[in-house]
Structure 1
């Protein structure tokens, strides 16, 4: 997601937002940064598919480079690495996948894959204004892409499928806000409602940034205190921060990726009050920008199936840690 799109206005003086990590995330990130040191010394991890993306228009979705040519039985070509998940066509659109027995039995997790691979075909629809509580914004955006044309919307959906498989193995009931089962969107206000109506115990919105080359790393976006119009985040600020800290710490530990070097003051955490997806949520929710698609080194990770599996694992383990307390 670029900072120049709807529901993601440019932050004011991001480097001035420096703040110390809380004790909880400090312990997790310190351990994870040791992994980052190893990562940096060895040149990072890759599965051989990174950077091999076919050329394409930045606005048009493209398949991940490591996508298998022939999906395994029970998977569609859109669920590469999905751990044997059933095809979206095998159940009604928006249906909640059945949960297994496990430590998260009874817990509901909503995964919000940012944007939609087909948004670029529906510019009029996604540009219409919707009410996000404090103000009005465009319904959605097309998202960003790597310089080689790997779309953010493809990335987020792939990671969402991987997370769904991991979380269902823990017994959670998992719902996606979109699964390539609708022509565009959903709009940012509907994305919030999906989590609210599911009475989700945790919601994570998946994104990848579109910042300048040289800007690297991930950051987790937390809701700020908002009580205006139809938005009231006061009840979710504290639990959302705990969720975000656990996601950030586990993301560092599992992926070896350092927190953003261009926003968040090195903490990997950023608080925002302008995002409709957070402002309208009544359940604990965070966004994660997994890396910068416009930086060559980050793009090599984001286009690697092996790294995306680590990203899904890190985020999922953060969710599990939050839900288990």
Structure 2
């Protein structure tokens, strides 16, 4: 067989295969890099770049709301009875009509009331003090019912006033008045309870109510009446008290013919002080019941 020179022979096949393998490997690597740079279909999205942590002080946590405290007179229903009415003087037949006194007898439906020497009327005084007291009591959570809704009507009669506390199923009745003693030296407040009591509420519960109201008036700096021991009067003839079926007290807050007391009743500041004392007395009475 004739021989061929080495320079003219073809290169060996294994070298070619190795070269092709290296090229294929480079293609696979490049493809993998391209695939890894974007999310695969259906796969998780790449995590966002984390925000740098704040360098300032951490915010303070929001303060926890304090629990709501119950109002001191929540659940208490008070009937305030502002004595007399502005229209009584113009309706004598109506106010003089006989009604039951609560003890089997009769008495006049209502009266005109008294006044200071300068003409400031009891009905205006009692109405103003009652409205001021109502505002204070309601601010403490109490429910308040007034026996009259204005100061220019007639009545109501004493039997209706006293019966209101039972009609509306209230807890307590305070009837607000001022006295009209002819003696100008007579001064000060006093309370009246029904005696002898016609039901259990008119007994010790009413006396406890009277004690709380009298103490509050004293602590407010008012002068107690010297006409009654302990500034407490007992009467059987007051229809407002006799008809009450809950603890009930009639307050004579001042002597309107006395110069010092008259000045208090005629001033808005004095009437506010009276209202605050009545509200304080009811708060003390309610607290003692718990």
- Which of these residues, 135, 138, 146, is aligned with residue 165 of structure 1? 135
Q: What residue in structure 2 maps to residue 264 of structure 1? A: 228
- Secondary structure in structure 2 of the residue aligned to 1:193: helix
1:169: how far off?
Answer: 0.7
Judge conservation of contact 2:127–2:151 (CA < 8 Å) in 1. Answer: no
Question: Is the helix fraction higher in 1 or 2?
Answer: 2
- Secondary structure in structure 1 of the residue aligned to 2:156: coil
Judge conservation of contact 1:219–1:289 (CA < 8 Å) in 2. Answer: yes
Q: What residue in structure 2 maps to residue 142 of structure 1? A: 112
- Which of these residues, 191, 198, 216, is aligned with residue 250 of structure 1? 216
CA deviations on 1:224-277 (whole Å, 9 max, x unpaired) are 124xxxxx23343111100000000001111x112102x213x11111111111
Judge conservation of contact 2:85–2:151 (CA < 8 Å) in 1. Answer: no
- Secondary structure in structure 2 of the residue aligned to 1:270: strand
CA deviations on 1:3-34 (whole Å, 9 max, x unpaired) are xxxxxxxxxxxxxxxxxxxxxxxxxxxxxxxx
Paired with 1:298 and 1:224, the residues of 2 have a C-alpha distance of 27
CA deviations on 1:69-102 (whole Å, 9 max, x unpaired) are xxxxxxxxxxxxxxxxxxxxxxxxxxxxxxxx72
Paired with 1:121 and 1:202, the residues of 2 have a C-alpha distance of 31
Judge conservation of contact 2:123–2:151 (CA < 8 Å) in 1. Answer: no
Change (3 A) 1:154 1:302: same
1:281: how far off?
Answer: 0.8
CA deviations on 1:98-130 (whole Å, 9 max, x unpaired) are xxx722111100000000011111111000000
Judge conservation of contact 1:264–1:270 (CA < 8 Å) in 2. Answer: yes
Change (3 A) 1:153 1:181: closer
Paired with 2:249 and 2:243, the residues of 1 have a C-alpha distance of 12
Matched, 1:174 2:138: no
More displaced 10-residue stretch of structure 1: 172-181 or 214-223 = 172-181
1:182: how far off?
Answer: 7.0
Judge conservation of contact 1:202–1:319 (CA < 8 Å) in 2. Answer: no
Q: What residue in structure 1 maps to residue 10 of structure 2? A: none
Structure 1 gaps of 5+ residues are 1-100, 227-231
Paired with 2:143 and 2:102, the residues of 1 have a C-alpha distance of 28
Paired with 1:294 and 1:281, the residues of 2 have a C-alpha distance of 29
Q: What residue in structure 1 maps to residue 26 of structure 2? A: none
Paired with 2:132 and 2:93, the residues of 1 have a C-alpha distance of 31
Paired with 1:113 and 1:181, the residues of 2 have a C-alpha distance of 9
Paired with 1:198 and 1:264, the residues of 2 have a C-alpha distance of 32
Where do 1:3-42 residues align within 5 Å? none
Paired with 1:273 and 1:282, the residues of 2 have a C-alpha distance of 15
Q: What residue in structure 1 maps to residue 273 of structure 2? A: 310
More displaced 10-residue stretch of structure 1: 109-118 or 180-189 = 180-189
Paired with 1:320 and 1:201, the residues of 2 have a C-alpha distance of 13
Paired with 1:242 and 1:200, the residues of 2 have a C-alpha distance of 17
Aligned residues: 217
Paired with 2:79 and 2:217, the residues of 1 have a C-alpha distance of 18
Matched, 1:280 2:243: yes
Where do 1:26-65 residues align within 5 Å? none
Paired with 1:148 and 1:280, the residues of 2 have a C-alpha distance of 34
Q: What residue in structure 2 maps to residue 221 of structure 1? A: 192
Paired with 2:212 and 2:201, the residues of 1 have a C-alpha distance of 19
1:189: how far off?
Answer: 0.2
Paired with 1:156 and 1:235, the residues of 2 have a C-alpha distance of 24
The TM-score with structure 2 as length reference comes to 0.72
Paired with 1:140 and 1:280, the residues of 2 have a C-alpha distance of 14
